[in-house]
Amino acid sequence: MSPVWYAAKAGVRRGRTELRQTFTTGQDVFGYVLWTVLLIVPLFLVRDDPLKGAGISTGTFMLPSMLGMTLAFTGMMTTAQLLAAEREDGTLLRAKAVPHGMVGHLVGKIIMVSGTALVSMALPFAVGVFLVDGVARQGGGPLLTLLWVVPLGLLATLPMGAVIGSLVDSPRTIGLLMLPVMGLVVISGIYFPLSKLPEWLQTVGQIFPVYWLGLGLRAALLPAEAVAAEIGGSWRHLETAGVLGAWTVAGLLLAPSVLRRMARRESGAAMADRHRKAMQRVG
């Protein structure tokens, strides 16, 4: 076995270990429960409000949309936050000191973030299907859409999260990025159909993967008549695959070079300087 493959295999084991830890740590479990509550509360409030022209309720529309938002949010922001935190505490520096340690470290993070994304989607889905009608009841072909939308969504968001985490200086910067991310959610058709927004906002929303993940999950989980609420009255499978595929290619092309650049810049002196600045802010 080549050294790189051995490092990747070690990364898989590390990712599984981190998943077990996060599912048995009280603080992390509370985070999953809190996220589920934050999604379910607005769903509960609008569960019976009819969505004009679509034959479904607003809550039914929102449930798969919020699952797509969760997948995008976890893939990008959680990955970025983890990398930024591990730069600051020296974890990446230690990984760099091991032969092919960065490969194993990043593979472990991919396994860990993918697992947490799926759990973060599964919990609100398990609760939401009892609150709203018409979700995941058509079976057959539509549900098979999940088999390519979810993996492609992870591939589209994880590399970009790694890029963001490599470029920011500290985890506190990630917190500031939450504001534009939440603005993006508003114009991505998560809480109401994108077709209700002005055309220029529709164009902006369709550039980013959040909208397309929501659309793909709605296509998989909602009844056929719900397509009336979508732009052009179509689920646009080809466009969904195309945009998510484009983000995947862009991320896979950009992430390796950015990560290599970040690894080269990591040193004990750089970590000590970040620690000194953090202590100055605390003081």
Transcribe 251-267 into DSSP letters: HHHHHHHHHHHHHHH--
- DSSP H stretches of helix in 49-140: 58-73, 79-89, 91-96, 101-128
Instruction: Give 142 or 37, the one with higher predicted confidence.
Output: 37
The mean per-residue pLDDT over the stretch 84-102 comes to: 77
Quick check: 276 pLDDT over 70?
no
**87: pLDDT strictly greater than 90:** no
Cβ neighbours of residue 10 closer than 8 Å, sequence gap 6 or more: 104, 108
Average pLDDT taken over every residue of the chain: 86
Q: Which of 59-73, 81-95, 134-148, 260-274 has the highest mean predicted lDDT (pLDDT)?
A: 59-73
Please give the Cα distance from 148 to 198 (Å, whole number): 30
pLDDT of 172: 75
pLDDT at 280 over 80: no
Q: What is the pLDDT of residue 213?
A: 95
State how far Cα 99 lies from the chain centre.
30
Q: Which of 111, 95, 91 is nearest to 103 (CA)?
A: 95
Measured in whole angstroms, the distance separating CA 222 from the mean position of its chain's CA atoms is 21
Please report which confidence band the pLDDT of residue 267 belongs to, taking 50, 70 and 90 as the band edges.
Answer: low
For residues 36 and 164, is the Cβ–Cβ distance under 8 A? no
**What percent of the chain is modeled with pLDDT above 70?**
92
What pTM was computed for the model? 0.88
Q: Which residues of 250-273 are buried (b: 16+ CB within 10 A; e: fewer)?
A: ebeeebeebbeebbeebeeeebee
Cα separation of 120 and 17, whole Å? 18
Q: Indicate if the pLDDT at residue 67 is higher than 90.
A: yes
What average pLDDT does the segment 217-234 reach?
A: 90
Q: Is the pLDDT of residue 90 over 80?
A: no
Residues 6+ apart with CB under 8 A from 161: 75, 76, 77, 78, 79, 80, 83, 113
Q: What pLDDT band is residue 163 in, cutting at 50, 70 and 90? A: confident
